[in-house]
Chains A and B, each alone.
Chain A
Amino acid sequence: MPKRVVFPHRALPWALVFPQLLITLVFFVWPAGQALVQSVLLQDAFGLSTHFVGTENFRRLVADPNYVHAVRVTLVFVGATVGLAMAAALLLAAMADRVGRGVVVYRTLLICPYAIAPAVAGVLWHFLFNPTIGVVAGWLQALGYAWNHVLNGGQALVLVILAAAWKQVSYNFLFFLAGLQAIPRAVQEAAAIDGAGPGARFWRIVFPLLSPTTFFLLVLNLVYAFFETFGIVHAVTGGGPAKATETLVFKVFNDGFVGLDFGRSAAQSVVLMAIVTGLTVVQFRYVERRVQY
């Protein structure tokens, strides 16, 4: 609901908005526009000439087996990370909600991964699973399972998924816990009086009431898994071995900065922009509709 009482000044609001607007235009809008433009251009190998090629960069992307592979890797990675992070967080939050006193202690302990950078989380897990000296790798080898994520692509993917999910669980946990604590006890008590056990109470009453939080977290987790996990891949596996962990966001960086193929990298950026725009619009629409001022 817009404000009824406003100030009549004309120049002042412009001055107030100016810094943010300026930075936004210079560092966000202008580069994004450039990416759009670059994505329809083709440069020669020395960068000396460019010419307009329309959607050719995009068509070549779709036909490129490496790109399709990266899409598949990304889908697996995103699906597994989001699923794991949300399920584990929901379980922990449901348990923490039952605890009553001591919630703050558990919450303090479980909150730490939120503060840890994805790249650092990746390094931590890489160290645990290091084939030569890693503690967990040692246990796996003692159990007869040969773990070497430097050579085995599937294992490398599992490792980055674990690191990414581990980090995100605490963020989800916070929101799930707050959502659970907001559900009135009376509803659960009424169900208990009617004879519902704790399991039935959870799945048929609490979980549906939690759905706004779940939806909100789902979108946020998707954005996290698509974009913020660049650090994990770059620091731990470098996209390898043999591109087994090359996610879309990593590919943009690799093709652009390392491969110096600007047109292709720009086209990939545009695709990613479309994805994140879709997710953000969905989230904003949903949140705006539900919030009352």
Chain B
Amino acid sequence: MVEPRPGLTILTHGVLSLGVVLVAFPLYVTLVASTHTAESLLSRVPLWLGGHFWENYRTVLGAGMRAAGGASVGTMLRNSLVMALAIALGKIAISIVSAYAIVYFRFPLRMACFWTIFLTLMLPVEVRILPTFKVVADLHLLNSYAGLTVPLIASATATFLFRQFFLTVPEELAETARIDGAGPLRFFWSILVPLSRTTIAALVVVLFIYGWNQYLWPLLVTTDEGMYTVVMGLKRMVTVADQAAQWNLAMAAVILALLPPVVVVVLAQRWFVKGLIEPEK
């Protein structure tokens, strides 16, 4: 702040607090709804917490909405976790070695590989759903963890981030490594990877969230309820066809569905902001 202006400072905090309220209010109402019984939610949702927190969450995690055609939320959470971790770690692993190859080696078709990988940035899942689905079906990967994760692993953002970073690594490091007789893999593992720690940390956060929050792809690739992920399974709980939606249980499931990524982001805030924003500046 350049000069003290008390009026503006009050306005500043006021606007920010309003922003926080707008962000928090939907979450608060959802939390409240998840602590009441289904009957008390048949008319207006109350604004205070009810007393059925543990009961609702236990029901949802265990039996879930199986009676109404849903899968147990516990199973769905597990599937989401596997999917998110597999995507985050898988993407990082294959991108970092690709970026390394493209930056530190000269091989025929190097630029062709680079542009092919670049192409994936222009092809989000939403524009290739039918043919990708067909490929996955032909490979018999439907309703499997592999089918859920592998087609999402190859996109190029991580590769670019790593490439950007590797290009800023000083030449001297590679020179001294070669002089000392280190081979490329040694150089990669002992020098480059430790240097990339911030980028890797930021990517783990971003990719975990990306994998956890996938909606369209799990919707297409899973027909077996045991393989549903929690984010896509929510819709089925919210729009149940032949009975009044059990809002309290559905909202408990919503809270469970959004909790892991939010916790990850809040805890890892510092790394992920640094790793995400630094390369763009």
| A, B in one complex | yes
Q: Which of B4-12, B51-59, B63-71 interfaces with chain A?
A: B4-12
Contact A16 B98 (CB under 8 A): yes
Contact A252 B2 (CB under 8 A): no
How many interface contacts (CB-CB < 8 Å) are there between A and B? Answer: 314
Known A35-B127, A135-B29: A29·B119 in contact at CB below 8 Å? yes
Q: With A and B bound together, what is the CA distance between A171 and B62 in angstroms? A: 34
Nearest neighbor of A181 in chain B, beta-carbon distance: B277
B159 within 8 A of A: yes
Known A32-B123, A234-B235, A265-B130: A118·B215 in contact at CB below 8 Å? yes
B194 within 8 A of A: no
Contact B167 A120 (CB under 8 A): no
Chain A residues packing against B (C-beta within 8 Å): 1, 3-7, 9-10, 12-14, 16-17, 19-21, 23-35, 38, 88, 91-92, 95-96, 98-100, 106-121, 123-128, 132-135, 138, 166, 169-170, 174-175, 178-179, 182, 185, 188-189, 192, 198, 201, 213, 216, 223, 227-228, 230-231, 234-235, 238, 249, 252-253, 256-257, 262, 265-266, 269, 272-273, 276-277, 280-281, 284, 287, 291, 293
Which secondary structure dominates chain A's binding surface? Answer: helix
**10 further interface pairs, Cβ-Cβ under 8 Å (given A7-B184, A95-B19):** A12-B101, A23-B151, A35-B128, A111-B265, A115-B209, A115-B261, A120-B258, A201-B2, A227-B126, A230-B216
Minimum distance in angstroms from B21 CB to a CB of chain A: 10
Contact A133 B43 (CB under 8 A): yes
Known A120-B234, A170-B23, A188-B2: A276·B127 in contact at CB below 8 Å? yes
Query: In the complex, which residues of chain A have a beta carbon less than 8 angstroms from the beta carbon of B241?
Result: none
Query: In the complex, which residues of chain A have a beta carbon less than 8 angstroms from the beta carbon of B2?
Result: 185, 188-189, 192, 198, 201
1/0 per residue B86-107: CB within 8 Å of A? 0000000011011011111111
Query: In the complex, which residues of chain B have a beta carbon less than 8 angstroms from the beta carbon of A95?
Result: 11-13, 15-16, 19
